Amino acid sequence: MAKRLRDSITSQYVEAANRLSSRQARRRIVAYVESYDDIFFWRSVLSRFENSERYFEVMLPSRLDHLERGKKAAIMSLIAAGGVGRDMIACVDADYDYLEQGASGSSKTILDNPYIFHSYAYAIENMQCYAPSLHAVCVAVALNDRQTFDFEAFLRDFSTAIFPLFVWNIWSYRTGATPRFAISDFIHIIEMGNISPENSQQALANLRRRVGHKVQMLQRQHPGARESYAAVKDDLRRLGVRPDMTYMYIQGHHLFDKVVVPLVRKVCNQLIREREREISAQSVHATQQRNELSCYSSSVGEAEFVLRRNVGYVSSPQYQSIVEDLQRYLEGENKDEEEKIES
């Protein structure tokens, strides 16, 4: 089967196409992402850098081997095909690669290549779950601004509870001890069960107990790891991992599906029922009640959908780190262009 032209696109190809355009045409920069869900996130990041001189086109790699979900296949295939470069960048979830700091091949590739940009948080799901933005999400869903649950306090307590065990998990990946304590083991221990606003404090107490038991077990299994554990802990802090924000660095699907969505959905349901009771109480007659309830019902949103379109992460430190990386990349490209013109 003959290759489609798009399958052969490389940074050099896009650069050549840009050079063939008129001097007044904007420079096109292709930004490859991992999945459909990533397109909206990276569009929201990259759009701020578009101007009269450049624009970004966010797309999925179309090569057959890119149909496999995950950045490793996508990035390695891009590199093998000619690589990312000046006019074709890759935008990926950080996963643990950022925190591994080169301990694995994929981590080294992502950190060393100036044309690969990562989310700093584990995944975009973590960004969508940025705690200070969750009340606004509930308002967007339920159209009710009453705050019935403190998401920031809950995720702060959740993060602080799991931080000691999270350090052990990163330690295991940096030292090659993952068969003993893999990310799946970590996720199993921090599982919150059927979480709700009503049982959140009891769930946190149970979580602290499970984490404490596992930490003691790991300390017994690795009696000589005291210094290396402390070194990893200090390095994580250097990388911006605060104990009260650990939730931004754990597996994104787990945080989104098992912790935040259940809480947001239940809070929204409470707010919706509260608003419906207000409408019923304030209605003068049955017809007005039916009309008002119908109007309100057609206006409320769906919790998971609204959360996936949440852009409240723009105030997060992780988002700011992404912006700074892109600024350095574009400033470097502009400098290179100026040097070419002068020469």
Cα 317 from Cα 313, distance rounded (Å): 9
Strand order in the sheet with 116-118: 54-59, 27-33, 88-92, 116-118
Q: What is the mean pLDDT of residues 323-331?
A: 94
CB atoms < 10 A from the CB of 184, how many? 9
Cα 196 from Cα 166, distance rounded (Å): 23
Q: Do residues 200 and 155 make contact, with C-beta atoms less than 8 angstroms apart? A: no
Beta bridge partners of 226: none
Q: What angle do CA 207, 306, 314 make, to 5 degrees?
A: 80
Average pLDDT over the chain reads 88
Lookup result for tokens 């919790």: 303
Cα 81 from Cα 75, distance rounded (Å): 10
- At 70 the pLDDT is 53
Using CB atoms within 10 A of its CB, is residue 152 exposed (0-12), middle (13-18) or buried (19+)? middle
Residue 18 has pLDDT above 60, yes or no: no
Q: Which of 54-58, 319-323, 337-341 has the lowest mean pLDDT?
A: 337-341
The phi and psi torsions of 69 (rounded to 5 degrees) equal: -70, 140
Residue 2 has pLDDT above 50, yes or no: no
Cα 21 from Cα 68, distance rounded (Å): 34
> Would you kindly state where each structural domain of the chain is located, as residue ranges?
5-121+322-342, 128-310
Q: What is the pLDDT of residues 21-40, one digit of tens each?
A: 555 678 999 999 988 889 99
Length of the chain, please?
343
- At 1 the pLDDT is 37
Q: Do residues 301 and 271 make contact, with C-beta atoms less than 8 angstroms apart? A: no
- Give the helix/strand (H/E) hosting 90: strand 88-92
Q: What is the pLDDT of residues 187-226, one digit of tens each?
A: 999 999 999 999 999 999 999 999 999 999 999 999 999 9
Residue 329 has pLDDT above 60, yes or no: yes
Q: What is the pLDDT of residues 52-101, one digit of tens each?
A: 999 999 988 765 444 455 555 666 677 656 578 888 899 999 999 999 99
DSSP string, 268-333: HHHHHHHHHHHHHHH-SSHHHHHHHHHHHHHH---HHHHHHT--GGGGSHHHHHHHHHHHHHHHHH
Instruction: Tell me the pTM.
Output: 0.88
